[in-house]
């Protein structure tokens, strides 16, 4: 499922919101370290990359809201962490 926009309160554009696939993948992650942790993190990577690509396209087209910028930063940090675990 693609990343979905969310109506921005102050503007005439829809604010980006993480896709159901990314949200579900994050919710299904175990909170404590498990033996499968690397596998679980690896499954998040394509969702994170898709979300970041979507945010980059939106930024070129219309700029990002503060919330979208924070979400993008958090997703980039998570992706960087996953890549460092490998």
DSSP codes joined into one string, 26-40: HHTS-SS--TTHHHH
Contact 18, 8 (CB under 8 A): no
Which residues share a beta bridge with 7? 14
pLDDT band at 18 (very low <50, low <70, confident <90, very high): confident
R_g over Cα of the chain = 14
Q: Which pLDDT tens digit goes with each residue over 38-85?
A: 677 778 889 999 999 999 999 999 999 999 999 999 999 889 988 887
**Domain residues of the chain, as ranges?**
37-86
pTM: 0.64
- Closest residue by Cα to residue 85 from 36, 42, 25, 31: 42
């Amino acid at each position: 499922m693609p990343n979905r926009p969310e109506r921005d309160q102050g503007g005439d554009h829809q604010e980006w919101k993480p896709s159901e696939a990314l949200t579900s993948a994050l919710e299904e992650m175990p909170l404590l370290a498990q033996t499968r942790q690397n596998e679980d993190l690896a499954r998040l990577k394509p969702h994170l990359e898709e979300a970041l690509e979507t945010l980059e396209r939106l930024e070129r087209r219309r700029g990002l809201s503060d919330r979208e910028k924070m979400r993008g930063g958090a997703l980039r940090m998570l992706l960087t962490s996953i890549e460092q675990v490998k």
